């Protein structure tokens, strides 16, 4: 892994992306004992409009705690794509919800498209777990933590009654990206 790897989750407020960022940071820093810093947008910025959650992961202590130019970005909405998908490293990756981001940001990075919300609703059965689908997808896309570490962190976060649902969401998100990458 690179010394410092930066990931941004962006979308609409209420889509659970801050939680997705926190779970990823837990997977890295608690499950895998790496270093991680998670931060997020606050206040008026976080309500309604575009919301973001950023995670920096490293094998070494992390000094500057904010994302600079991210290695990987998720955009769940067009607004988020327009606002946050501009700072991606050359050679980086962008995952978009293909149903909502029609105007695909262009740049020197790889774009992977999955209908994340639809997958949550139709394949998993609950739209509310779209963030976990997205998390599985981002982990598959970046390999920043292991598949197992991600799943462990997800399951540690959810109530007993929702374990199966989240396990399924995480797994489907992960597989969808692997399939998409195989096709590319």
Partner 1 sequence: MAKKVALMQGNEACAQGALYAGCDFFAGYPITPSTEVAEVLSIELPKIGGKFIQMEDEIGATAALIGAALTGAKALDSTSGPGMSLKQELLGYACIAEIPCVIVNVQRGGPSTGMPTGPGQSDMQQAMWGTHGDHAAIVLTPASCQEIYEETVRAFNLAEKYRMPVQIQLDEICAHMRERVTLAEPGELEIINREKPSVSPADYKPYDATKGMVPPLATYGSGYRFHVTGLNKAADGFPTTKAELVDAEERRQIDKVMFNLADIQKNEEYLLDDAEVILFAYGSTSRSARYAVNELRKEGVKAGMFRPLTMWPFPDDRVAELSKQAKAIVCPEMNLGQMVREVQRVAQGRCTVAHIGRVDGEPINPGQIIDKVKEVL
Dump strand ranges (E) for the chain.
Answer: 5-12, 35-40, 50-58, 70-75, 88-97, 109-114
Nearer to partner 1, 47 or 122 (CB): 47
Taking CB under 8 A as the rule, does residue 91 contact partner 1? no
Eight-class DSSP state of 87: -
**Contacts of partner 1 in 49-88 (CB under 8 A):** 62-66, 68
* Encoded tokens for 66: 């904010």
Rule CB under 8 A: choose which of 7, 17, 20, 25 binds partner 1.
Answer: 25
Taking CB under 8 A as the rule, does residue 7 contact partner 1? no
Q: How far is the CB of 67 from partner 1 (least distance, A)?
A: 11
Taking CB under 8 A as the rule, does residue 45 contact partner 1? yes
Question: Which of 1, 23, 13 is closest to 149 using CA atoms?
Answer: 23
What DSSP element (H or E) covers 118? helix 116-118
Nearer to partner 1, 64 or 183 (CB): 64
Nearer to partner 1, 44 or 91 (CB): 44
Question: Which of 145, 144, 179 is closest to 70 using CA atoms?
Answer: 144
Taking CB under 8 A as the rule, does residue 159 contact partner 1? no
162: left (phi over 0), alpha (psi -120 to 50) or beta: alpha
> Contact positions toward partner 1, by CB under 8 A?
22, 25-26, 29-30, 35-40, 42-45, 62-66, 68
């Amino acid at each position: 892994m690179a010394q410092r790897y930066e990931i941004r989750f962006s979308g609409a407020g209420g889509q659970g992306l801050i939680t997705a960022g926190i779970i990823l940071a837990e997977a890295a820093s608690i499950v895998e004992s790496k270093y991680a810093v998670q931060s997020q947008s606050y206040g008026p910025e976080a309500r309604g409009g575009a919301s973001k959650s950023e995670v920096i992961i490293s094998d070494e202590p992390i000094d500057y705690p904010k994302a600079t130019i991210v290695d990987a970005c998720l955009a769940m909405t067009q607004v988020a794509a327009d606002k946050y998908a501009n700072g991606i490293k050359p050679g980086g990756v962008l995952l978009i919800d293909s149903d909502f981001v029609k105007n695909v940001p262009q740049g020197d990075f790889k774009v992977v498209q999955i209908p994340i919300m639809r997958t949550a609703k139709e394949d998993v059965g609950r739209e509310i777990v779209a963030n976990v689908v997205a998390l599985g997808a981002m982990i598959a896309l970046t390999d920043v933590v292991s598949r197992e570490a991600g799943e462990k962190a997800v399951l540690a976060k959810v109530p007993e009654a929702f374990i199966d649902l989240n396990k399924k969401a995480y797994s489907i998100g992960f597989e969808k990206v692997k399939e998409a990458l195989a096709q590319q």
